[in-house]
Structure 1
Amino acid sequence: MSDITAEQVRHLAGLARIDLSEAEIASLTLELGQIVEAVASVSSVATADVPITSHPIPLVNVYREDVVADVLDTAQVLTQAPEHDGSRFKVSAILGEEQ
């Protein structure tokens, strides 16, 4: 059995600003204890000769060749903009005055 106590669960709930009933505290005490035990059992199996893995099958990202190409300059892009200030797009505020 794990050493997680109801008092520790109350303390964690207080830090997280979560109001828990006594039934929830009892339930979470049991559940957190089981989680700690599960992690401990996995940790006991993981030894120095077992390689660390995040996936059972090795994954490799596939990237395309990064090729420099002709791009539009700022003036060309802004000709297509509904509104601009000469160097940037102008958009209406969506967040209101709280900014």
Structure 2
Amino acid sequence: MSRDALHQLAGYLLLDYSDSYSIESVALYLSRQGALIDWSVADFLGFMGARLELPDLRAACRYALSDGAAGTPPPPEDQRRPLPRPRSAPPVQDTLFGDLL
């Protein structure tokens, strides 16, 4: 499993901002091996090194992806970053997870 695949899976989980789908587990299907690897959301977030609960992670993700646009709730206080970065700097997304792999 690659880091990118796990981050993509985390992205799908975090983009359900309003918990419309009530996601309880996430999984990867390894077609070459014919195996399904699945985790409960809590186990997956723990494995990924999440430092916040799922609703707070979703709020931080939404805030980061919208640059704090009007109506977007800010992330928890300890996760806020100064928003405008100099135009000359390349865009960088701070991780919402701890180090992985």
* TM-score tier after normalising by the smaller chain length: under 0.3
Higher relative strand content: 2
Bigger Rg, structure 1 or 2: 1
- TM-score, normalization: structure 1? 0.26
Structure number with higher relative contact order (C-alpha < 8 Å, ≥ 6 residues apart): 2
Higher relative helix content: 1
- TM-score, normalization: structure 2? 0.25
